[in-house]
């Protein structure tokens, strides 16, 4: 039997691929071609707002005050980020960074797991969502619930992931979260008990989604062999992730424990970070859990938010390519200066992994991860790569002051060492941000529940219009902007 030939699609009137000149529509009328590039220039003019207008209207651009602190838009029990104190004049007083989950110091939470040689991400997730540390029985029951949700719904991996691979795992993750709505018998019920059930289910599902999405992407687009491993309910989240990502499913205890710690450190960072705020914002509209979490995934995908660890990996690779002998500190300094002067790497002038919007003297997450990263480096023969991170942490503030003629507090942030850890664990760069999403999911779900319980009001910030009022112009009298 002969297959029907696919109909050739005509270029749309406004089409990137449309040829210049006129084309015929179905009714044979000539339709002029519009240009995206011309449209972009018009939009740049029509939407530009001068900086002085923001000052005149006292707009808190980026929801930030003039001193760089965040505008207070809500209250939370879940996370607290401490990076500075304020004096009576509102000036920042630097301090060593602290991070609290439900009132507990993250350093105490991580150190307890290290001392007892056990995984801690599941305990952290329970703490964030339920509001208190679990007993041994409660933690075991919670882990069993997550284990029951490790397997995706029947046919989901095939129909939603493998048959429609994406070049970007975060986009596939967001699409998969939205698709899970159709597999839920009660998706729109936003009662706390139902949202709690949905939260646990998503936490169980995420490792398989990101792992299968990566396998589908690498097979379809990168022409690599397809390796699919079923999750094992009894394993921890970090163990399942490493097992499903790797072709043979192998991993060491040190690797799994280090990934577990990294996920503990990324699980929550206060309600003001972009993706957690997105969760609050979308939840305040009364929407379903899947829509709210998909929106948070979209926020985290942004390179200004969750993509920073990828930027660190790319920067480190670029440095090693251009400074083959990392022990030549003079050449290393020279290249770091070139990066800061926008003469090398991506020409942004940024040293990724350095500095933070809140932390001033130190990022507690970086301090914790650094000590574990050194152990990993020693076990894998990557001590030179680790020492490169350490050198950047210690010397970039000095080099920055020399280049820009001013001293700025610039502590290493968590991405400097999480980027190294992911690279040392041979975690594909495509999965770095999805891993962050998997870790942050418990924080997002906690913030969603908090908004449902304590919010109760649709978030609706104000925008002042700076557009002049215009008289209507009949179509026959309008001038063409394109032609």
Tokens of 230: 């079923």
Please, which residues have CB within 8 angstroms of residue 226's CB and are 6 or more apart in sequence? Answer: 215, 216, 218, 219
Q: Of 111, 197, 193, 188, whose CA–CA distance to 369 is shortest?
A: 111
Please, which residues have CB within 8 angstroms of residue 135's CB and are 6 or more apart in sequence? Answer: none
Q: Residue 297 and residue 170: Cα distance in Å, rounded?
A: 7
Please, which residues have CB within 8 angstroms of residue 49's CB and are 6 or more apart in sequence? Answer: 466
Tokens of 99: 């991070």
Q: Residue 23 and residue 262: Cα distance in Å, rounded?
A: 56
Please, which residues have CB within 8 angstroms of residue 155's CB and are 6 or more apart in sequence? Answer: none
Full DSSP string of 164-210:
S--S-HHHHHHHHHHHHGGG-SSTT---HHHHHHHHHHHHHHHHHHH
Whether 269 is catalytic: no
Please, which residues have CB within 8 angstroms of residue 346's CB and are 6 or more apart in sequence? Answer: 314, 315
Q: Residue 407 and residue 400: Cα distance in Å, rounded?
A: 7
Annotated catalytic residue: which of 269, 280, 345, 356? 356
Whether 184 is catalytic: no
Annotated catalytic residue: which of 288, 415, 423, 430? 415
Full DSSP string of 395-450:
HHHHHHHHHHSS-----B-HHHHHHHHHHHTT--GGGHHHHHHHHHHHHHHHHHHH
Q: Are 76 and 447 in contact (CB under 8 A)?
A: yes
Which residues carry out catalysis? 356, 415
């Amino acid at each position: 039997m002969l297959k029907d030939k696919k109909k050739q699609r005509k270029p749309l009137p406004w089409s990137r691929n449309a040829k210049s000149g006129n084309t015929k529509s179905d009714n044979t009328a000539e339709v002029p071609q519009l240009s995206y590039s011309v449209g972009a220039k018009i939009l740049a003019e029509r939407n530009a707002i001068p900086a002085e207008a923001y000052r005149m209207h006292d707009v808190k651009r980026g929801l930030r005050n003039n001193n760089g602190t965040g505008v207070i838009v809500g209250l939370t029990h879940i996370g607290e980020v401490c990076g500075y104190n304020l004096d009576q004049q509102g000036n920042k007083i630097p301090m060593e960074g602290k991070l609290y989950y439900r009132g507990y110091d993250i350093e105490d939470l991580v150190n307890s797991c290290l001392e007892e040689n056990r995984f801690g991400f599941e305990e952290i997730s329970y703490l964030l969502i339920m509001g208190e540390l679990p007993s041994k029985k409660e933690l075991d029951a919670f882990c069993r619930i997550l284990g029951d949700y490790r397997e995706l719904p029947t046919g989901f991996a095939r129909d939603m992931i493998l048959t429609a691979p994406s070049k970007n795992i975060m986009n596939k993750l967001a699409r998969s979260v939205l698709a899970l709505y159709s597999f839920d018998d009660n998706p729109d019920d936003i009662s706390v008990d139902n949202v709690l059930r949905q939260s646990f289910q998503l936490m169980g599902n995420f490792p398989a989604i990101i792992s299968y999405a990566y396998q589908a992407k690498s097979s379809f687009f990168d022409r690599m062999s397809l390796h699919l491993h079923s999750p094992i309910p009894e394993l921890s989240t970090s163990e399942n992730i490493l097992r499903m990502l790797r072709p043979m499913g192998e991993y060491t205890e040190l690797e799994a424990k280090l990934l577990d710690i990294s996920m503990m450190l990324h699980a929550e960072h206060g309600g003001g970070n972009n993706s957690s705020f997105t969760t609050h914002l979308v939840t305040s509209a009364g929407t379903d859990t899947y829509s709210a979490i998909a929106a948070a995934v979209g926020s985290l995908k942004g390179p200004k938010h969750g993509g920073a660890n990828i930027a660190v990996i790319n920067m480190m690779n670029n440095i090693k390519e251009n400074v083959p002998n990392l022990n030549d500190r003079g050449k290393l300094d020279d290249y770091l200066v070139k990066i800061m002067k926008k003469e090398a790497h991506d020409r942004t002038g940024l040293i990724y992994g350095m500095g933070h919007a809140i932390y001033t003297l130190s990022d507690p997450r970086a301090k914790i991860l650094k000590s574990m990263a050194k152990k990993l480096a020693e076990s894998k023969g990557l001590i030179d790569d680790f020492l490169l991170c350490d050198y950047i942490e210690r010397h970039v503030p000095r080099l920055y002051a020399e280049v820009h003629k001013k001293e700025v507090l610039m502590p290493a942030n968590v991405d400097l060492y999480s980027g190294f850890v992911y690279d040392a664990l041979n975690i594909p760069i495509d999965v770095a941000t999805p891993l962050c999403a998997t870790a942050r999911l418990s924080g997002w779900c906690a913030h969603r529940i908090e908004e449902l319980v304590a919010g109760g009001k649709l978030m609706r910030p104000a925008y002042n219009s700076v557009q002049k009022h215009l008289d209507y112009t009949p179509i026959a009298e309008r001038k063409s902007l394109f032609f």
